[in-house]
């Protein structure tokens, strides 16, 4: 699928970008060019120490911001595939600096789309978040806007051989800025701040996220939002897995935070198809897509009123399972 292809990853120095690059270099040695596009020169330097362009001749480190449309167009010259992972993701920072979040997550997303339309890009997958479903915070609202932009861009591709789709998944265990590293760093204090003892979250590993993106690149028709079937966990169980001896202090919900996360709302159910390992939320006017998935790909429509919620998810991780996942997916120097 990726042999002899030119690939660009926005936000390529982030947690996902690093895992994606590692996977591509290991599994697809025939890739022609792999461009890491990001705005932080220090992170690019640090990443180049692990993934050297002298060793991996396909690598290119390209400094640029997705807010800069001209730079994006330059970076996408000759690119076949774009994986859009760049975003401002911290909920409190977005609440305090709303328009900065909009500039990157909404206007930046449109810049990516227009650069793809102006270039010869053939396949685009944008990363989303569970917070984009029925958003209550600005970060989720900007990612919902981004999702809509990418799916609707298929309407204006004209005669171009171009497909744009979205993957939406939950919290990535151990990713930078997520709850697991926070709890691990807080463990020495002897207590964990718990926003609400009933809080739940979805869970996915970086490797699973990367494989989902690769699956979407190979299987998407354009316009879909793909959602994985993944387990949930209780925030109190996560705290117990990391520091069973630590006190759990209830501190209340932060601004813009949910008790439970959703990835598919009841309103989405009329356009959602079960594909086995994944769900696909189709555009409301996508009769042709629906026919393809239902008749040729073995998909099944979900029940009207169906919702995919971390609190009602039938699959929950136990304390021991969480502890095992942390050992597998988090830096060995900070394991539970």
**Listed ranges 266-275, 278-287, 322-331; the one with the highest mean pLDDT:** 266-275
Write down the pLDDT at residue 208: 96
Distance separating alpha carbons of residues 169 and 227, to the nearest angstrom: 6
pLDDT tens, 102-129? 999 999 999 999 999 999 899 999 999 9
SS3 state of residue 33: strand
pLDDT: which is higher, 278 or 336: 278
Looking at every residue in the chain, the average pLDDT score rounds to 94
pLDDT above 90 for 175: no
Report pLDDT for 296: 87
**Right CATH for 6-170+205-229+264-307 from 3.30.1490.20, 3.40.50.300, 3.90.550.10, 3.40.50.720:** 3.40.50.720
What are residue 168's phi and psi, to 5 degrees? -120, 120
Quote the pLDDT of residue 334.
46
Q: Which residues are catalytic?
A: 131
**How is residue 302 annotated by DSSP?**
P
pLDDT value at residue 253: 85
pLDDT tens, position by position, 132-173 = 999 999 999 999 999 999 999 999 999 999 999 999 998 898
pLDDT for 331 equals 63
Q: Under a CB-based contact definition with an 8 Å cutoff, are residues 165 and 124 in contact? A: yes
3-class DSSP state of 77? coil
CA angle 239, 244, 247 (to 5 degrees): 70
Q: Cα 28 to the chain's mean position, in Å? A: 21
In tens, the pLDDT along 197-238 reads: 999 999 999 999 999 999 999 999 999 999 999 999 999 999
Confidence at residue 330, expressed as pLDDT on a 0 to 100 scale: 81
pLDDT of residue 45: 97
């Amino acid at each position: 699928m990726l042999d002899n292809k030119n690939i660009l990853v926005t936000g390529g120095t982030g947690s996902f970008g690093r895992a994606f690059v590692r996977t591509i270099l290991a599994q697809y040695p025939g890739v022609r060019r792999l461009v890491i596009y990001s705005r932080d020169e220090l992170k690019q330097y640090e990443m180049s120490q692990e993934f050297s362009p002298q060793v991996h001749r396909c690598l290119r480190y390209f400094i640029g911001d997705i807010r800069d449309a001209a730079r994006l167009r330059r970076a996408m010259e000759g690119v076949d595939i774009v994986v859009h992972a760049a975003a401002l993701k911290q909920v409190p920072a977005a609440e305090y600096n709303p328009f900065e979040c909009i500039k990157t997550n909404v206007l930046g997303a449109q810049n990516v789309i227009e650069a793809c339309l102006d270039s010869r890009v053939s396949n685009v997958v944008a990363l989303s978040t569970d917070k984009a479903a029925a958003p209550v915070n600005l970060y989720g609202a900007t990612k919902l806007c981004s999702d809509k932009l990418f799916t609707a861009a298929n309407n204006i591709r004209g005669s171009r051989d171009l497909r744009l789709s979205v993957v939406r998944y939950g919290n990535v265990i151990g990713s930078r800025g997520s709850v697991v590293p926070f709890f691990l760093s807080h463990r020495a204090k002897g207590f964990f701040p718990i926003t609400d003892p009933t809080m739940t979250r979805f869970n996915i590993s970086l490797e699973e996220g990367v494989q989902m993106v690769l699956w979407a690149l190979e299987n998407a028709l354009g316009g879909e939002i793909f959602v994985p079937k993944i387990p949930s966990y209780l925030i109190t169980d996560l705290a117990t897995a990391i520091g069973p001896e630590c006190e759990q202090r209830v501190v209340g919900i932060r601004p813009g935070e949910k008790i439970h996360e959703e990835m598919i709302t009841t309103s989405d159910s009329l356009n959602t198809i079960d594909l086995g390992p994944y769900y696909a939320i189709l555009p409301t006017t996508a009769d042709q897509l629906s026919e393809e998935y239902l008749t040729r790909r073995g998909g099944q429509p979900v029940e009207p009123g169906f919702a995919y919620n971390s609190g009602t998810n039938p699959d929950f991780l136990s304390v021991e399972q969480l502890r095992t996942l942390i050992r597998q997916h988090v830096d060995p120097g900070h394991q539970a």
